[in-house]
Structure 1
């Protein structure tokens, strides 16, 4: 069974997925009208999706290639103006995607680089941008064909790592001022049935006073460091499915097959509600 260490891919794998999904996204959107709506990103059209990823990849390319390590340095970055026409937008995106992958390839994964997470390395950017490109590649495919006929598979190992990133890095991240209080007896095992990776996720409360003086007592999750899967831990609910389907479920994208819920159905539904509430938009 995989743990949060076991899902990590090699840096070469992240770069391979970053390159291929960025290329797929551009190829698919090149065939879609500029004004085609993105069903998974309300309010966006095809060009908005392209422009979004152009800005994101350009930002991380600067962080990596310029060796930025502090919030002060990063705060000086300004996005380039959005290209006016579709051909120019596509060309800029393809160029920036290649530059980002090249910058990451030329930088050791352990090199110190700024990020918004506790992981302050270039390896964080490689992992994050592989998943960013993957999810938005799916968005592009659904934009071109909302019926899913253009949808291509997501690699199971990448999807399992994406589940781990979402649960631990996004949803499981808590600021230094917060205290996390897991609620006993309210643990769900999340199971990727095709890769064998599992996660023990417990409903929790996040309490504390933020830097603005606002007091919090909010729904949260606690993700165990590992899942022994040896009978010593007894979750009261199970959420299971293929790695791709769980990955898409966490990112609120359409699944191919609905994940299965077992055990305490009310608790599993409550957990999914909390996950939806704290997931990035």
Structure 2
């Protein structure tokens, strides 16, 4: 399939990130995240905050190598954490707005053609989408998934997560495990992730269910969710 328009990826980042915040603002910070069993809602909020901080700095500063030295400190209260998340979420979309997608930028992909701002746009749209789903699972609510974005997510999992994991990535059987050798930010059961790599998903998704999803005629939104 044809990838989505770059501006549409940025719009999805904006919309999915806003929904993520909306859900977690009303969710008990101590609520468990079923899809990442060792994470609380507060952990999930902090994770996406650091992810969006990281990729903002990559887009703005264009480093040749990643540097985590400037990572912000985790706030002490849920309200402060929401404010920091909102800051970095807005900063990410502002940094991406209007930038040519073929501009060179550091990414964790082993494919040199993926070292672009366009790769970041696409990856962060799916990052925001899947964590919005995590937030809704924690809060016991749900909302619609965009079918085109979900279908693109299936293609990204197959083409990028399986096809372009970084050299030295640690692997496991289905579901995929793809974490780069860059410094790890947080490790949770079923969700080992760092800001530079795609999150390792997901203890709550069974091997048999994922394989069934990829070989069936399930809707793309469901297939994308299961594959993660």
Is the pair's TM-score, using the shorter chain for normalization, greater than 0.5? yes
1:60 pairs with one of 46, 55, 69: 55
Provide the TM-score with structure 2 as the length reference: 0.75
2:133 maps to 1:138: yes
Note the 1:175-186 alignment, pairs <5 A. none
1:151 is matched with which residue? 142
Alpha-carbon offset, residue 238 of structure 1: 4.0
**Maintained 8 Å contact 1:38/1:140:** yes
Matched with 2:27 is 32
Let me know the Cα RMSD of the aligned residues. Answer: 1.7
Residue 80 of structure 1 aligns to a residue in which SS?
A: coil
Bigger fraction of residues in helix = 2
Q: Within 1, Cα distance between the matches of 2:22 and 2:215?
A: 38
**Helix, strand or coil at the partner of 1:43:** strand
Task: Give distance in 1, aligned partners of 2:103 and 2:22.
Answer: 32
Structure showing the higher strand proportion among its residues: 1
For the 8 Å contact 1:64–1:107, the answer to whether it is kept is no
Give the match for residue 101 of structure 2. 109
Query: Once the 2 structures are TM-superposed, how far is the Cα of residue 239 of structure 1 from its aligned partner?
Result: 2.6
CA distance in 2, matches of 1:89, 1:14: 25
1:243 equivalent to 2:220? Answer yes
Deviation sequence 1:204-242 (CA, Å, 0-9, x none): xxxxxxxxxxxxxxxxxxxxxxxxxxxxxxxxx943211
Q: Which runs of 5+ in 2 are unaligned?
A: 169-213
What are structure 1's unaligned runs of at least 5 residues?
Answer: 178-236, 252-281
| Per-residue Cα deviation, 1:11-48 (whole angstroms, up to 9, x for no partner) | 11101110011110111111111101111111111110
Distance 2:34 2:25 in 1: 17
1:161 matched to 2:152? yes
Q: Give the C-alpha shift of residue 77 in structure 1.
A: 4.1
1:91-131: per-residue Cα shift (whole Å, max 9, x none)? Answer: 00011101000101142211110001120001111100000
Q: How many residues align?
A: 180
Shift in CA distance, 121/135, structure 1 to aligned 2, threshold 3 Å: same
CA contact (8 A) 1:11 1:109 kept: yes
**Aligned equivalents of 1:52, 1:249: Cα separation in 2:** 21
Larger RCO: 1 or 2 (CA < 8 Å, sep 6+): 2
